[in-house]
Structure 1
Amino acid sequence: MKQTLRGADAGAILAGQPARLAALGVALLVSAAVLWLITQQVIPTIAFLCGLLVLAAAGFAVSRMPANADDAAFAAPDWSVTVTAIEQPGIAIAITDRANRLTCANALYAEWFGANHAPPSLAVDRAGLEALAIAARQAWRDGSGVVARLESAGGHDIWRAHAERAGRGDDYLVWRFELLRGEDIALTVAGRLAGPFGALLSRAGIEAALVGADGIIRAANQGFAERAAGDGSATMAGQEYAAQLRIDERDQIFFARDTRRASPQTLIQIPLDDPDKRGVSTGFDAKPSAAGGRANVGEDAPSLMLLIDGGVGLGGNLDGPGQAATPQLEALLGALPLGLAMTDRDGRFLFANSAFLRAIDLEDAGLPQFPSDLVVREDKAALSDAVRRFGRGPGSNGDMAVRLLSQPDEPVSLGLAGVRGLGEAAVLLSLADSTEETRLKRQIAQATKMQAVGQLAGGVAHDFNNVLTAIIGYCDLMLLRHTPGDSDYDDIQQIRANSNRAASLTRQLLAFSRQQTLRPEVVQLPDIVSEVSQLLKRLVGEKITFTIRHDRDLGPVRADPQQLEQVIVNLAVNARDAINANGDGTGKLTLSTRRVSASDVRKAGSDIIPVADYTVMVVQDSGGGIPPELLGKIFEPFFTTKEQGKGTGLGLSTVYGIVKQSGGFIFADNIKGLHGRPDGARFTIYLPVHHGEPVDTSKPVIDQKASKWSGGGRLLLVEDEAMVRAVAERALTRAGYAVTTASDGEEGLAEIVRGGEFDLIVSDVVMPGMDGPTMAREIRAINRALPVLFMSGYAEEQLRRDIDIDNMYFIPKPFSVQQISDKVGSILGLQERLPQDK
Structure 2
Amino acid sequence: MGGSGSASAPLALHRHRPSGGLLMIGVAALAVVTVFACWILLGGAPLAGAIVALLLAGAFAAGAAAGRPDKTERVEVTDWSLLRDVMSDGLDPLAITDRAGVLLGANPAYRALFGSALHPSNLPFSVEDMARLTEAARAAMREGRVEVHNLLLDDGPAIAILRRAGRRDDHLAWRFRRAGARNPYGVARALLDGRSGERLGDAGVMLVLADPDGTIVAANDVFAYRALGERKEKVAGQNLADLLRTSEDGAVRIARDGDDVPQLRVIPVPVGDDAAHGPAVFLLLDEDPEAISVAAARGAATVHLHGLLAMLPLGLALLERDGRFLFMNDAFRRAARIGPGEVAVYPSDLVLEEDKPIVSDAVRRFAAGRALPGDLAIQLKHLPEEPVALTIANAKGLGDAAVLLSLKDDSEESKLKRQIAQATKMQAVGQLAGGVAHDFNNILTAIMGHCDLMLMRHTPGDIDYDDIQQIKHNSNRAASLTRQLLAFSRQQTLRPQILQLPDVISEVSNLLRRLLGETVKLEVKHGRNLGLVRADPGQLEQVIVNLAVNGRDAMPNGGTLTLQTLPVTAAEVRRMRSEILPVADYTALRVSDTGTGIPPDIIGKIFEPFFTTKEVGKGTGLGLSTVYGIVKQTDGWIFAESELGRGTTFVIYLPIHHAAAELPTPAAQARVEAPSETWGTGTILLVEDEAMVRAVAERALTRQGYTVLTATNGEEALELLENGDAPDLLISDVVMPTMDGPTLVRAARAKFPDLPILFMSGYAEEQLRKSIDIDRVAFLPKPFSVHQLAQAARDVLLAQAG
TM-score range, shorter chain: 0.5 to 0.7
Q: 2:749 aligns with which of 771, 780, 786?
A: 780
CA–CA distance in 2 between the matches of 1:383 and 1:410? 14
Q: List per-residue Cα deviations over 1:372-422 (Å, max 9, x = no partner).
A: 576455434423555688899999987533234647455423457879999
Q: Partner amino acid for 1:800?
A: R
1:500 aligns with 2:466: no
Select 1:412's aligned residue among 389, 407, 419: 389
C-alpha contact 1:354 1:363 (8 A) present in aligned 2: no
CA deviation after TM superposition for structure 1 residue 663, in Å? 3.1
- CA separation of 1:574 and 1:796: change in aligned 2, threshold 3 A: same
Residues 619 and 727 (structure 1 numbering): CA distance in 2 closer, same or farther, change over 3 Å?
same
Which position in structure 1 is the counterpart of 2:608? 635
How far the C-alpha of 1:714 sits from its partner, in A, is 0.8
Letter of the 1:313 partner, please give it: K
1:828 equivalenced with 2:768 (yes/no)? no
Equivalent residue in structure 1 for 2:235, among 289, 300, 316: 316
- Among candidates 659, 664, 670, match of residue 693 of structure 1: 659
**Structure 2: gaps spanning 5 or more residues:** 1-125, 130-197, 207-224, 241-301
2-structure distance, mates of 1:265, 1:351: 23
Match of 1:749 in 2: 718
Map of 1:770 onto structure 2 = 739
Contact 2:678 2:704 in 1 (8 A): no
1:589–1:355 CA distance, 2 compared to 1 (3 A)? farther
Alignment counterpart, residue 625 of structure 1, candidates 595, 598, 606: 598
1:177-188 matches, cutoff 5 A: none
How far off is 1:738 after superposition? 1.3
Q: 1:596 to 1:385 in 2, by over 3 A?
A: farther
Q: Secondary structure of the equivalent of 1:762?
A: strand
Aligned partners of 1:682, 1:417: CA distance in 2, in Å?
A: 54
Q: Are 1:819 and 2:788 matched, yes or no?
A: yes
Other structure's SS at 2:406 match: strand
Q: Is the 8 A contact 1:450 1:636 kept in 2?
A: yes
SS at match of 1:712: coil
Q: Indicate which of 314, 331, 334 corresponds to 1:338.
A: 314
2:355 corresponding residue in structure 1: 379
Task: Give me the whole-angstrom Cα distance separating, in 2, the residues matched to 1:816 and 1:447.
Answer: 35
Task: Tell me the residue number matched to 2:624.
Answer: 652
Identity of aligned residues (%): 53
2:202 is paired with a residue of what secondary structure?
Answer: coil
8 Å CA contact 1:403–1:410 kept in 2: the answer is yes
TM-superposed deviation, 1:447: 1.0
- Contact 2:309 / 2:316 at 8 angstroms: preserved in 1? yes
Q: Please report how far the alpha carbon of residue 722 of structure 1 lies from its aligned counterpart in structure 2 after TM superposition.
A: 0.4
Q: Quote the offset at 1:594 in angstroms.
A: 9.3
Are the counterparts in 1 of residues 318 and 328 from structure 2 also a CA contact under 8 Å? yes
> 1:434 offset after TM fit, Å?
2.3
The one-letter code sitting in structure 1 at the alignment partner of 2:546 is: N
Aligned position for 1:251? none
Cα distance in 2 for residues equivalent to 1:827 and 1:452:
36
Q: For 1:262, which of 195, 202, 209 is the aligned residue? A: 202
Instruction: Choose from 427, 430, 452 the match for 1:451.
Output: 427
User: Is the 8 Å Cα contact of residues 229 and 326 (structure 2) preserved in structure 1?
Assistant: no
**Conserved in 2, the CA contact under 8 Å of 1:613 and 1:688?**
no
2:536 corresponds to? 560
Does structure 2 conserve the Cα–Cα contact (< 8 Å) formed by 1:396 and 1:418? no
Q: Give, in whole Å, the separation in 2 of the partners of 1:381 and 1:587.
A: 55
1:400 equivalent to 2:376? Answer yes
CA distance in structure 2 between the aligned counterparts of 1:593 and 1:528, rounded to whole angstroms: 14
Q: State the shift of 1:493 in Å.
A: 2.2
Deviations 1:60-107 (A, max 9, x none): xxxxxxxxxxxxxxxxxxxxxxxxxxxxxxxxxxxxxxxxxxxxxxxx
Distance, in Å, in 1 between the alignment partners of 2:237 and 2:675 is 94
Q: Within the alignment, does 1:469 sit opposite 2:469 as a pair?
A: no
CA RMSD between the two structures: 5.5
Q: Deviations over 1:594-633 (max 9, x none)?
A: 9696998999896xx5865485767676536369589658
2:457: which partner in 1? 481
Output aligned runs, 1:15-30, within 5 Å: none
Deviations 1:773-827 (A, max 9, x none): 2211211111111101111223334433433433322222222223222332333
In 2: Cα distance, 1:550 partner to 1:354 partner: 54
Deviations 1:232-285 (A, max 9, x none): xxxxxxxxxxxxxxxxxxxxxxxxxx987635499xxxxxxxxxxxxxxxxxxx
Amino acid corresponding to residue 772 of structure 1 in structure 2 = G
Q: Which amino acid aligns with 1:779?
A: A
- For 1:355 and 1:769, the matched residues in 2 are separated by 63
Quickly say closer, same or farther: Cα 1:501–1:785, change in 2 above 3 A: same
Q: How many angstroms does 1:473 deviate by?
A: 1.4
Q: Is the 8 A contact 2:636 2:655 kept in 1?
A: no
Deviation at 1:763, TM superposition (A): 1.0
TM-score, length-scaled by structure 1 = 0.51
1:189-243 alpha-carbon deviations (Å, 9 max, x no partner): xxxxxxxxxxxxx9799xxxxxxxxxxxxxxxxxxxxxxxxxxxxxxxxxxxxxx
Segment drifting more, 366-375 vs 775-784:
366-375
Amino acid at match of 2:715: E
Q: Provide the C-alpha distance between the structure 1 equivalents of 2:227 and 2:526, rounded to a whole number of angstroms.
A: 61
Q: Is the 8 A contact 1:706 1:826 kept in 2?
A: no
Note closer, same or farther for the CA distance 1:540–1:633 as it changes in structure 2 (3 Å cut).
closer
1:781 and 1:348, CA in 2 relative to 1: closer, same or farther beyond 3 A? Answer: same
Q: 1:657 to 1:422 in 2, by over 3 A?
A: same
Match of 1:460 among 428, 432, 436: 436
Provide the rounded CA distance (Å) in 1 between the counterparts of 2:347 and 2:589.
42
- Write the distance in 1 (CA, Å) between the matches of 2:414 and 2:571: 26
TM-score, normalised to structure 2, is 0.53
Aligned match of 1:729: 698
Asked which structure has the greater CA Rg, the reply is 2
Structure-2 separation of matches of 1:376 and 1:687: 46
Aligned mates of 2:353, 2:619 — CA distance in 1: 33
Q: Where does residue 6 of structure 2 map in the other structure? A: none
Question: What secondary structure does 1:468 align onto?
Answer: helix
Residues 403 and 508 of structure 1, relative CA distance in 2, 3 Å threshold: same
- 2:501–2:565: 8 Å Cα contact kept in structure 1? no
1:662 corresponds in structure 2 to 634
2:708 paired residue number = 739
Q: How does 1:276-295 map to 2 (within 5 A)?
A: none
> CA 1:503–1:315 in structure 2 vs 1: closer, same or farther (change >3 Å)?
closer
User: What secondary structure, in the 3-state scheme, does the structure 2 residue paired with 1:317 have?
Assistant: coil
Amino acid at match of 2:545: V
Which consecutive residues of structure 1, in runs of 5 or more, have no partner in the other structure? 1-201, 206-257, 267-305, 674-678
Rate the CA distance shift 1:436–1:827 in 2: closer, same or farther, 3 A: same
Distance change (3 Å), C-alpha of 1:261 and 1:769: closer
| Deviations 1:625-664 (CA, angstroms, capped at 9, x unpaired) | 3695896586224x54433432233212312321232234
The more displaced of 701-710 and 778-787 is: 701-710
> Do the aligned partners of 1:376 and 1:408 also contact (CA within 8 Å) in 2?
no
C-alpha contact (below 8 Å) 1:625/1:680 kept by paired residues: no
Query: Given residue 509 of structure 1, which amino acid in structure 2 is its aligned partner?
Result: L
Alpha-carbon contact 1:716-1:739 (below 8 Å) kept: yes
Cα 1:335/1:791, change in 2 over 3 Å: same
Q: Matched residues in 2 for 1:778 and 1:714: separation?
A: 19
- Provide the residue aligned with 1:211 in structure 2: none
The CA distance in 2 between the partners of 1:308 and 1:780, in whole Å, is 93
State the secondary structure of the residue aligned to 1:781.
Answer: helix
The 1:418/1:660 distance shift into structure 2, 3 A limit, reads: same
Work out whether residues 469 and 813 of structure 1, in 8 Å CA contact, stay in contact via their aligned partners in 2. yes
8 Å contact kept, 2:390–2:405? no
Q: Distance in 2 between matches of 1:751 and 1:666?
A: 51
Conservation of the 8 A alpha-carbon contact between 1:391 and 1:419 = no
How many pairs does the alignment contain? 524
1:716 counterpart (680, 685, 688): 685
Residues 455 and 465 in structure 2, CA contact (< 8 A), matched pair in contact too: yes
Report the residue type matching 2:747 in the other structure.
E
